[in-house]
Structure 1
Amino acid sequence: MAQKTVPEQPKVAIYARQSVHEEQGIKQQIDDCLREASYRGWQVVGTYPDDGTSGSKERGPGTNWAKLLKDFDDGLFSAVLVNDVDRLTRNLTDVLEVRPPKRDIRVLTVRGGIDTDDPTHDFSLKLLVLMAEREVKQKAQRTQRYSVERRKLGHPTAGRTPHGYRWVPDIARDEHGTRYRIDPDEAADVRYMFSEFLSGASLGQIARDLNTNGRRTRAGARWLNTTVRKCLMNPQYAALLAPSQETGKFDIASIDLAKCSPGAWEPIIDEATIAVTRGRLVGVKPNHQGNARRWLLPGIAVCAICRDPVQSARGETHPTSRVDGSGKAESKRYHAYRCVNGHFMRNGDIIDEYVSEVCIAKLSEPDAIDLLAPREDGIDIALLNSQRAALDRSESTISSLIVKGKMNAKAAEEALDELAEQRRAITAEIARTVSTDPLAEVVASGNARAWWEDASLARRRAVVKVLMTVLIKPVGKGKRITRGEGEEAFDAVEPTVGFEWREKRERS
């Protein structure tokens, strides 16, 4: 009696795919396939996951789908195992890649029990894919119609939510269907970026200050010039819905603000601010070299002997042995300033504190307003701020009149457009004034110490550069300058740091 031949078990590759990233989606597919392979006694030679990959569009050379086809051609396996037919593909063209005459890959599924070694299953596979392809096209048509209606109502897509907002799921939306909700902590980062940039800070300095303050992107990454730039160019922060762009070819710089429509969510900054900011960034080549600083005076202060700008450095203490014979104290590193020609290297923290106090005292004098550079156009930043606040009140009044039925829609729209134009002009002038003359904002604040303590490093440096030239003097080898207490806090520092005041300000 002849022995029964046992069919050879196939070597299988597991393929898993999902169009939208979901933490457990791919893992569950692979786990299901591994259990099925173990039950059938199939040898698994590898897994090929494609996360965030559409099954109805062409999959390029960088995908695991392309790698799977290449590995089959190299003879690594004879069958592909998927959880379900639609995880393999939703496009009949892909089926023709794996089935004869081009290739003869045996297709196996966990669900539905497809095995193309059976000719009827080969027909079922193609039929199921055709049905899936038809469903995709119908869904695309429904989505397009829905997209038009969604945009009319001012709602954004469900894509990546900008830093500063949180996506509101359908079940938690209000009666207006609002999809963006302001995140207070992240919104503070956004306002900080716009405020600092319009005050003259570089993108690199803004990124460094955010990182120094322990702020991170939503993904937990450090801020970079590029990520700050993208935020500053995003019209969504002014509750503006940009025109749709071709999938995969989004370009934030090409957005025309005039073609944006009002968004149905609360703005973090006003439209005028985004207009001014984009005006400074669009068409300007990004500077990836950066000029961010960590300390107050590098490149600003000069050596009192050679007049070359001082640089920051890291000093280290060298303790001597204790008198009681118990050894040496632990060596410590500290922030320092050094002359590039070797005239000194000094503790920078004490100098920074002293210069800060001198600046605050100067800006707190009754005649501090005289420090402002004279302007031929007579611009007054305090007046500009009050005018912008008045425009905000006028906008609220118009909204109230509409609600009460005392103003028709057309008149209200014309009035609001005029207010928006006025606000844009005022914001642009404020930004130009502050960046041209950094003292304008601190003098207008009326409280120099409070302004200084809240100000970023970039703003403090700008004020120092406008007010004075700081001269740092050598103190002699082995000598230490320490800060005292109370009224004598800086008595030891004062003789070692000089100032050349810029009393005569040029016209801007």
Structure 2
Amino acid sequence: MKTETLPARHVEQDMTPRAALYLRQSVEHAEGIDRQDARTRSMAASRGWTVAGVFADDGQSASKDRGPKSAWRQMLAAAERGDITHVVAVDLDRLLRSQKDLLTLIESGLAVVTVDGEIDLASADGEFRASMMAAMARFEVRRKSERQKRANEYRASQGRPVPGRRRYGYERDNITPRPDEAAVVQYIFQSFVETASVRGVAQTLNAEGRYPTTGTQLWTPRRIRDTIMSRAYIGEVPHLGTWTKSEALVPLVGLPLYRRANEMLADPTRKTSPGAEVRHLLSGITYCGVCGSRMTFMRDYRCRADSKHPVIKKEKLEGIVMRAVTSALLLGPSAILPATSDEQDTLEALDAALSRVQKQREGIMALVREGLTDAAAERPTLTRLKDEERRLVARRDQLAQSSVAAEVLAGIKSHLFDGHRVSIEKAVEARQAIQERVESLSLARHRELVQLLVHVTVNPGRSEDRVVVAHRVVDSLNEDAA
């Protein structure tokens, strides 16, 4: 029910009491609010009062602070403006449960009337009785809270879970396993240990239709991670800030498997998922000319950061970049080609070094999983090996990008010269041959070639001039080369 108010009227013009109906319940339920509305409206009518507004807080606890957008605050604002003189509620508990709220009403000067007993805060006697009732209500709230805390502490001291939302894998008592869900929990731990991928575990469960029954509708990497980290699945409950073994709680996972999964989860050098596979040539390697963010393909190439920034058709952008890449390959110097075989740092040597580092790292991780060495003690070595692996991969990618240029140019440019002059006809043929070879590359190799040769920026506008291609190697092709 929405808050309703009538236009303000001055007391001098109309001395009829202007009543506000205040309705509240802790649990959101329209039927309860409707009953309160009928009862309070009937009382106002029996007194001959004008209903100047209806203020309903549905699903709002009176023991908690009611914010500026609440009906309670709107009613107080109406009182301050002089729009209302009386407040009608079913009983005082619906209206307030704290001394702070009572003082607010007293200072407003409103006359408060309840269906279950009248209280007039304008009189000393009414104010005293309201203070006593508010104090009793507050006492009941705090006593209930203290009883609940003591009960929870006793349960925890006895090794029993405290009441709350049902934990996945257990029945509502959070003690008895639910067989079908318990099997999923066990699968999560075992599958993660085998694959080291929380995302992969989530995708498999969702694909098989084994969804979580509480909270979100799909398994997410975050939910898989939280499940692996929960000590409740090894039969422990929290008590006084620590986790203790529970005799009542049935564990779903053995301690060795739990420790192994959590050590892998905490390992800072653990490999992560490579993410979604790139499907479009320039996605992620073209940049927005407005904010500098990368552009991605969503029906067209567009800025990832802001949909209002430059947008360009796929065919147009890729055509412009293809011409620039072909020109760079046709006119580029030998600097495009990879290092000579005399250098030690060849692709073959890098592959071998990378293989050795990866095997050494995987060997240490195997010892940690078997409990033959300590994860914390091996972490510096694992970190060093991970850094070395990244360095080798970066260097290998650099040489691989150069090699793709050599792959395209092999046997083409040597036929351009006719004596000491460049043959125009052969140049046209060479350009066509280069373009055909570039188009025959795999998507990954094609992207490597683009990143090696050019940097692409798309500015606002409609003409092709808004696409700025900066040549990385053949800088003579840049417009500002002069």
Normalised to the residue count of structure 1, the TM-score between the two structures is 0.45
Structure with the larger RCO, 1 or 2 (CA within 8 Å, 6+ apart): 1
Bigger fraction of residues in helix: 2
- Please identify the structure whose Cα radius of gyration is greater: 2
